[in-house]
């Protein structure tokens, strides 16, 4: 089944690009329509349930485990989901916000915060990525409207400028140390619900978190991580980056463009 909106350009204005440049994130309304979201909610939910191998009860997991169920690279598991992940519309937005010539796939992931799931602590995604520049961006796509009670993504505007906390993985420690750093530096903290069809895009180094899901429904989100099509692999600086090199950039040599079979180009400017 084809979904026309996924192949139609999204009109970004200069004000959108400037906002992203200043704050390292942006939320955009009406990126997707109700029919498309509903369709992929069903498909992604079914595939996530099929692939989920979490057996530890929620109450017995650590902070990271309570934050969400995480399933990677669904585009390789289901051709229908691939249409969403390879959407020219979404990749075009990523390209124009980063002001690059085009974008490649880094990887996708379903992030399902279960009913009663805990917070996602403050962190910056790029801690985990062995990539040579900050030209990275994540599309955060809720598969339902997401009120505050469900734990929508929160952002610390312009916090990509801060170095404190970049060395921290997602943990109770990152929540405490980064929260204090952001408080001292007085960066604006954006906490808002997501409307149906609203999608956010955030830089790899901007600090963000999510609250607990206090509802009785799972908060379902699909994410797509894009990188500049010309980005190169750097030497890993921690265990997470070594794991990402092995997993998402197989066969790529340090200093080379990240162009493995898992990293196709999804959009190029004409």
**pLDDT tens per residue across span 136-195:** 999 999 999 999 999 999 999 999 999 999 999 999 999 999 999 999 999 999 999 999
Q: Residues 214, 220, 223, CA angle at the centre, nearest 5°?
A: 130
Q: Taking the domains of the chain in order of start, what are their residue ranges?
A: 4-249
What's residue 49's pLDDT? 93
What's residue 68's pLDDT? 78
Check pLDDT > 70 for residue 1: no
pLDDT digit string, tens, across residues 219-255: 999 999 999 999 999 999 999 999 999 999 999 999 9
Contact 104, 139 (CB under 8 A): no
CATH code matching the domain that covers 4-249, chosen among 2.60.120.620, 1.10.1330.10, 3.60.15.10, 3.40.50.2300: 2.60.120.620
**Average pLDDT of span 196-202:** 98
At a CB cut-off of 8 Å and minimum separation 6, what does 105 contact?
75, 85, 86, 224, 225, 226, 262, 263, 264, 266
The average confidence (pLDDT) of the chain is 96
Helix-helix angle 88-98:14-23, to 10 degrees:
60
Q: Higher model confidence: residue 80 or residue 55?
A: 80
What's residue 57's pLDDT? 81
Check pLDDT > 70 for residue 202: yes
Check pLDDT > 80 for residue 56: no
What's residue 66's pLDDT? 67
What's residue 65's pLDDT? 75
**Average pLDDT of span 9-23:** 98
Check pLDDT > 90 for residue 59: no
For 47-56, 95-104, 127-136, which range has the lowest pLDDT when averaged over its residues? Answer: 47-56
């Amino acid at each position: 089944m084809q979904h026309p909106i996924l192949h139609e350009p999204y009109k970004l204005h200069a004000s959108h690009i400037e906002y992203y440049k200043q704050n390292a994130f942006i939320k955009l309304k009406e990126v997707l329509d109700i029919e498309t979201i509903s369709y992929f909610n069903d498909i992604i939910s079914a595939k996530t349930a099929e692939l989920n191998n979490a057996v530890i009860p929620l109450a017995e997991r650590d902070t990271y485990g309570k934050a969400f169920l995480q399933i990677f690279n669904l585009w390789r598991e289901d051709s229908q989901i691939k249409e969403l992940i390879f959407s020219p519309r979404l990749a075009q937005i990523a390209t124009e916000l980063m002001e690059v010539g085009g974008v490649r796939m880094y990887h996708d992931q379903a992030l399902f915060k279960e009913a009663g799931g805990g917070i996602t602590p403050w962190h910056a995604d790029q801690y985990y990525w062995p990539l040579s520049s900050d030209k990275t961006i994540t599309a955060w796509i809720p598969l339902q409207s997401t009120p505050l009670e469900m734990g929508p993504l929160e952002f610390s505007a312009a916090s990509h400028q801060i170095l404190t906390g970049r060395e921290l993985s997602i943990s109770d420690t990152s929540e405490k140390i980064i929260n204090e750093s952001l408080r001292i530096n007085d960066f604006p903290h954006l906490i808002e619900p997501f409307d149906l069809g609203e999608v956010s895009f955030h830089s790899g180094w901007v600090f963000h978190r999510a609250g607990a899901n206090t509802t009785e429904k799972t908060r379902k989100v699909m994410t797509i991580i894009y990188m500049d099509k010309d980005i190169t692999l750097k030497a890993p600086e921690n265990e997470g980056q070594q794991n990402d090199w092995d997993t998402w950039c197989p066969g790529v040599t340090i200093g080379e463009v990240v162009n493995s079979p898992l990293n196709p180009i999804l959009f190029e400017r004409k």
